[in-house]
Every structure is written in C-alpha cells, then in structure tokens.
C-alpha cells in the first residue's frame, strides 16, 4: 500500500501521458480503417475524412466507449489476485500502455495497418504471465477475445458480401440503375443511422447518466434512421445522371449517388471505431486511476471517469491529424480497387460489426473487421479482384503484433518494478 501512497500522483501523471500516447497510436494507425474505404473509393478527400473522423471518433469515444473499456480493464487479468500487491497492477497497466503505444509507433512509421486491440491485449497478457504468473491471466476471457478476432472478419466479410450482392441485384442490374439508386440508397442510409443509434442508446450512454429501455431505444433509433435518411434524400437530389463517357465512375451517376451514402457510412464507421477502440487507450489508464484513488484497494467496479474518455478521444484526434494520412493511403487502395458502392458495402458491414461488438463489450479488432469486409466485397467480384501480396503483408503484421506487444510489456514491467519497487 505504501508504494501507492508514496508515488500515487506520479502513477496518475504517467498513466495519463502513456494513455494519451496510446490513443495517439490508435488515431495514427487504426483510424485509417475507419476512413480508408471512403478515401480509397474517392467519395471523400483526405481533408474531409480527417474532419469527419475528428468529430465522430471523439463522439464515439465519449458517448459509447465505456462498455469495452471495462473488458480491457478487468476482463483479461483477475484483479482479485493482486489484492496483496496492488502496485503490480499499476506497473503492469503502465507497461501495457507504453508497450502497445511503442509498437503502434513502429507500425505506423512503416505504414502497416496493425490491430491496436491486439497490441494492448498482447501487452496485458505479457505482463500478467511474466510478472504475476500464468495463473493470473484469465485465459477464458483471452480465449473469448481471440475468438472474436476470427469471428469479426468472417461476420463483416459475410455482411459486406451480402450487402454488395444486394446492391448489384437491386441497382446495377436494374433497367435504369440511376433511378434504382435514387430509390434504394435512402433505405441503406436508414440502416446506417438505425444501427449506430440503436447500440449507442442501448449500451453506450449509461456512464453519461442516460439509460433508456429497449422499447424507447428502438423507437428513437428508428426516428434517428428516418431523420438521417431524410438528409440523404435532400443531398441525393443534387446528383444528376451523367452520360457514361463523362462519368469517371463509369456507371451513369450511380456511383455518385453512392458517394453521398459514403459520407454517412464514414461518419458511422468513425463513431463505431471511436466507441470500440478508445478502450485500448483508456482501459489501463482507468485501472491505474481507480487503484491509486482507492489507496491501493482494487475495486472491480470503479467507474471510468468522463475526462478519461475525453483524454482518449483527444489523443485519437491528434494521432489522426498528425500521422493518419500514411495508413489511410495503404488501406484505401491496397487490398482491392474500391468504388463508392463497394466502399459503402465494406464500411457499413464493418461499422455494424464493430457497433455490435461494442454493445456486447468484446474488444474486437477494427482492422480485422474492415479488412474482412473489404475482402468480402472483393470476393463478390471474384478472386482476381484481390491483391494477394498486400493481404499477405497485412496478415504477417497481424501475426507479429501479439508477441511484440507482450515482449515490450514484459520489458517495461520489470523496468517500472525496478524504478519504484
């Protein structure tokens, strides 16, 4: 207890600094997953992507980031085992933040789209197993998280494949694709608004003091979907049918109607990403703060302070503005050639998958989810549409991430233990 009483303020300052550094890494590397498809399909420019992401990443982190944060904070290592030595939890969470952030810095510099979720989970498992013994790690919890890394790309890929096939059938194979696009795109916009509103209302707003029942959430989400669809219809009216020669998307203005839709899916994806991935930065930070404030007592149910989510959201924004453009370029054009209709299917599928995961508290990898969705869209056009070399490089960087995070965390854990212990 005395170590925590003695160095409590230092621990909180370090946790805030490392948490911000980690959130910076999330912004620099992972936000590309939220924005890559929109930029790659030329529906929005890099500048517009950064503005959308700044607003919606921050809102997602602040409004809907609490649920996943709890899993990162106490779902991987059993806090009960640390009642005697609470300072070990503090060293471990500081080490995990610094390790994951360092790995993200290396990956972002190389332009690899790695998983921030893998980085932090690997780091927490690393310090738990090395510093406290393998028994301290809740392997069942880790197994569930690991399973979600396989399930999420499969789920998002399947949704993206189905969505893109529905777009092909309802719009591109219609007698007048442009008229069909104007008819059906508002339905897709409604889906975007409904899905994001539903999960935010059900799961995300508890820590801001708002708790709606299921029925009220359903009605409000339908209303939100209708309002957003209405805005989409107004924006759509400005799009005129172009002759095929003049239209660089090659499908009589249809793709430009989807360009309008991509603005909505980009907002949805940024919100979904903020809600899921802010946890990677603020979960360990919240754990350190609760232990220090409780004077060394490890309370399983400490609330995540609102300013911690704001700090995480702010770090994500700074990372995106300073370094995000590098990885956006990689993700947007590398895997398969994207047009607005393909980008829409991939982004909506990924957003729905991530929002569902945030709702259940599973920290899934946005990177895996989005890459899975882009692969699903590519497969809907046949194997030849995929760039297998880029996919191989991405898979390789995914495999390295867990051991890299774990190894760095072990190193930093013993460093902190030596400094303060």
Q: Is the pLDDT confidence value at 75 over 80?
A: no
Q: Is the pLDDT confidence value at 351 over 80?
A: no
Q: Is the pLDDT confidence value at 247 over 50?
A: no
Share of the chain above pLDDT 90, in %: 9
Question: Tens digit of pLDDT for each residue in 143-202?
Answer: 877 777 778 888 899 999 998 889 888 988 888 888 888 888 889 889 888 877 776 676
Q: Would you give the distance in Å from CA 30 to the centre of its chain?
A: 7
Give me the residue spans of the domains in the chain: 2-420
C-alpha closest to that of 218 among 199, 191, 190, 192 = 199
Residue 392 CB contacts under 8 Å (≥ 6 apart), including other chains: none
Q: Is the pLDDT confidence value at 18 over 90?
A: yes
Lowest mean pLDDT among 3-7, 70-74, 263-267: 70-74
> Could you give the CA distance from residue 150 to residue 125 in angstroms, rounded to a whole number?
19
Say what angle helices 177-199 and 214-236 make with each other, to 10 degrees.
150
Highest mean pLDDT among 158-172, 201-215, 311-325: 158-172
Question: Tens digit of pLDDT for each residue in 95-105?
Answer: 999 999 999 99
Per-residue confidence (pLDDT) for residue 74, from 0 to 100 = 62
User: pLDDT category, 248, cuts 50, 70, 90?
Assistant: very low
Highest mean pLDDT among 221-230, 232-241, 365-374, 391-400: 221-230
| More confidently predicted of 48 and 212 | 48
């Amino acid at each position: 207890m005395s170590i925590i009483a003695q160095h409590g303020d230092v621990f909180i300052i370090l946790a805030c600094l490392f948490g911000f550094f980690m959130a910076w890494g999330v912004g620099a590397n992972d936000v590309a997953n939220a924005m890559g498809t929109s930029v790659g399909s030329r529906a929005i420019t890099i500048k517009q992507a950064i503005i959308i992401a700044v607003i919606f990443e921050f809102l997602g982190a602040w409004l809907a980031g609490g649920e996943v944060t709890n899993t990162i904070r106490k779902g991987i290592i059993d806090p009960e085992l640390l009642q005697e030595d609470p300072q070990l939890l503090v060293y471990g969470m500081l080490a995990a933040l610094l390790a994951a952030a360092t790995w993200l810095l290396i990956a972002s510099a190389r332009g690899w789209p790695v998983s921030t979720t893998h980085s932090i989970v690997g780091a927490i498992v690393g310090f738990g197993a090395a510093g406290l013994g393998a028994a301290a790690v809740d392997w069942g919890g880790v197994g569930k998280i690991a399973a979600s890394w396989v399930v999420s790309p499969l789920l998002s890929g399947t949704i993206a494949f189905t969505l893109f096939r529905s777009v092909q059938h309802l719009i591109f194979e219609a007698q007048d694709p442009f008229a069909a696009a104007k008819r059906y795109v508002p339905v897709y916009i409604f889906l975007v608004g409904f899905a994001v509103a539903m999960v935010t209302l059900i799961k995300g707003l508890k820590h801001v003091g708002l708790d709606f029942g299921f029925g009220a959430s359903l009605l409000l989400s339908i209303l939100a979907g209708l309002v957003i669809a209405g805005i989409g219809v107004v924006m759509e009216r400005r799009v005129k049918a172009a002759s095929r020669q003049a239209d660089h998307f090659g499908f009589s203005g249809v793709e430009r109607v989807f360009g309008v839709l991509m603005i909505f899916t980009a907002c949805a994806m940024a919100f979904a990403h903020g809600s899921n991935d802010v946890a990677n930065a603020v979960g360990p930070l919240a754990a350190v703060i609760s232990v220090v404030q409780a004077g060394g007592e490890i309370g399983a149910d400490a609330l995540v302070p609102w300013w911690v989510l704001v700090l995480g959201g702010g770090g994500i924004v700074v990372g995106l503005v300073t370094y995000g453009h590098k990885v956006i370029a990689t993700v947007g054009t590398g895997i398969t050639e994207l047009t607005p209709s393909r980008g829409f299917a991939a982004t909506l599928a990924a957003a729905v998958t991530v929002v569902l995961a945030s709702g259940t508290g599973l920290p899934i990898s946005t990177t895996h989810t989005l890459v899975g969705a882009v692969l699903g869209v590519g497969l809907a056009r046949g194997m030849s549409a995929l760039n297998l070399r880029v996919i191989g490089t991405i898979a390789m960087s995914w495999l390295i991430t867990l051991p890299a995070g774990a190894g760095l965390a072990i190193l930093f854990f013993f460093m902190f233990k030596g400094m303060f212990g």
